[in-house]
Amino acid sequence: MVTRLSGMDALSLHTQSSRMPAHTVALVIIDASDQLSHQRLRELVAASLPQMARFRSRLVAKPLGIGQPVWAEIEDYDPSPQIHCATVRAPGGRRELADLIAQLSTGRNDRQNHLWEAWSINGLAGRRWALAVKMSPALNDGAAGAASLWPRLLTAGPHADPAKNLPTEPSLGSAPTGRELIADVVTELVENHVTGMWLIADTVSGVLQAASSRLLRARQRRPTTPSTSSMSGPVPRTVFNAPLTKRRAVAFASIPLADVKTVSDAFGGSITNVVLAACALSLRAWLQRHDTVPDGPLLMRMPFELPATESPRMGRALTVGRLRIPVHLDDPVQVLANLHTATERLNAIRSRSNENSPAIDSETMASLIPPAVAHVGAQLYARSGLRRQLEPICHGSVSSTAIEPVPAYCAGAKVIGMHTVAPLAEESGLNIAMTSRGEDLDVSVCACPDNVPAVDDLASGIAHSLDILVAAAQESPRGQGRSVVTEMTTHPVNRSRGRSSDWFK
**Residue 239 DSSP symbol:** G
273 and 343 Cβ atoms separated by less than 8 Å = yes
Q: Position 196: which residue type?
A: G
pLDDT for 36-58, tens place per residue? 999 999 999 999 999 999 999 99
pLDDT number for residue 208: 66
Kindly provide the residue ranges of all beta strands, DSSP E only, lying in 203-350, ordered along the sequence: 249-256, 298-303, 306-308, 320-325
Same fold, 7-181 and 249-307+316-352+365-400+425-475: yes
3-state secondary structure 448-493: CCCCCCCHHHHHHHHHHHHHHHHHHHHHCCCCCCCCHHHHHHHCHH
According to CATH, the topology of domain 7-181 is: Chloramphenicol Acetyltransferase (3.30.559)
According to CATH, the topology of domain 249-307+316-352+365-400+425-475 is: Chloramphenicol Acetyltransferase (3.30.559)
Residue 1 or residue 304, greater confidence:
1
**CA–CA gap between residue 289 and residue 1 (Å, rounded):** 57
Name the residue among 189, 203, 202, 194 with its Cα closest to residue 370: 189
For residue 345, report the phi and psi dihedrals to the nearest 5 degrees.
Answer: -70, -35
What residue ranges do the domains of the chain occupy? 7-181, 249-307+316-352+365-400+425-475
pLDDT for 394-452, tens place per residue? 899 998 888 876 789 999 999 999 999 989 988 889 999 999 888 899 999 999 999 99
Mean pLDDT of all residues in the chain? 79
**CA–CA gap between residue 393 and residue 299 (Å, rounded):** 8
Residue 319 or residue 10, greater confidence:
10
Identify the three-state secondary structure at position 132.
strand
